[in-house]
Amino acid sequence: MCLFASTTLSLLSVSLFSLLKPGQLDEADPSYSKPQPHWFHTLQVRRLTVQRGRSNSDPMGGKSFDQDFQWKTGLQFGTANSYLNLEKIGEGTYATVYKGISRINGHLVALKVIRMKTEEGVPFTAIREASLLKGLKHANIVLLHDIIHTKEALTFVFEYVQTDLAEYMKQHPGGLHSYNVRIFMFQLLRGLSYIHGRRILHRDLKPQNLLISYLGELKLADFGLARSKSIPCQTYSSEVVTLWYRPPDVLLGSTDYSTALDIWGAGCIFIEMLQGTPAFPGVADVFEQLQKIWAVKWFQPCEPQQFRNVWKRLSQLPYKTEDLAQQILMTIPRDRISAQDALQHPYFNTLPPPIMQLRDTVSVFKVPGVRLETEVKDIFSPSRRIRPSQMVPLAKCW
């Protein structure tokens, strides 16, 4: 098994390196031009008030690399010494994520270090994640730059994105600005439409797996549970998707699911962004999770106060908003709207028309007039903003 995993990974790495050549990023596209500088001022993290280029690739704040630091020459992709760890930013069951910087070109990166187990070799989920991500190039999907394979660990090098939707909502409780919800939801559905068109299921949609950049770009991440429907398979596991975002059919044990699985999760996230709390926050088990769903979907006056409050908030949404939520959160999978059809819903009519014609690799923030609005909490808490003088240049981290 170890030999098979190692051989598979080697073939995968060769295939990946043929696609990920130095400099072969979005910026290499002849049609690429930097978006108009616009500060993502609603994030309660480090903020700048100077102009910024592409959010994930300008750690020097627009300064010349030649003036501030002489980058190492001769370093290559696929080697551990080509990247420098700056700090730990997250840890999971089988991987640790670090913020890092490329010593090849100075781009900020996220290093997902997967610990190798001597008995088992490379985790199969890691092989699956790499094999799927290497073929996905979209503005709303996190970009895999490189893979580093050593005896001790397998490291995925991703573009660095500053925070995730869960943290963003935590910093802005009570529900997000309605226009920002529309922008985030459009990007989420856009990313889902792309992977669903390639017969790929994410299978783990939740706010923690939706990255948010300073500009407001939303990117699908963590494809460890993702599966390709193009690969013949009798059934899938029903133990997928975090409980709060798992659809009722899968909660009941269904293993014959398709893209509607992800659509339900997107609907739960939609409601969570609007009302500021999870739509169906089950705690104990699957049965309780189903109870919470039925309590809202088939509301009765005798239900507990918490369910009456949820139903009241949903019923007070504007018509187009409520209609989209209803079409996404249909109980029967085949009745749920597809991601592609959802993008055409009247709910998005207030967005500039050119946003519907973008190429896959182009960010929605390149469309004139598309920008995030200031969240209510930021309007009334201007003192929380960090002044430029408080910022530590990243060059000093070397």
Going by DSSP bridges, is the β-strand pair 200-201/144-149 parallel, antiparallel, or unpaired?
unpaired
Instruction: Determine whether 204 is an active site residue.
Output: yes
Tell me which residue has tokens 């201007």: 382
Of the residues 146, 164, 204, 262, which is catalytic? 204
Nearest-5° angle of CA 9, CA 13, CA 15? 115
Residue 31 near residue 363 (C-beta atoms within 8 A): no
Tell me the backbone φ, ψ of residue 140, rounded to 5 degrees: -110, 25
Q: What are phi and psi of 370, to 5 degrees?
A: -90, 115
Could you tell me which residues are annotated as the binding site for ATP?
112
**What's the Cα-to-Cα distance from 366 to each of 21, 38, 143, 218, 330, rounded to whole Å?**
25, 11, 18, 14, 33
Binding positions are 112
Beta-carbon contacts of residue 249 (< 8 Å; ≥ 6 apart)? 257, 331, 332, 333
Active site residues: 204
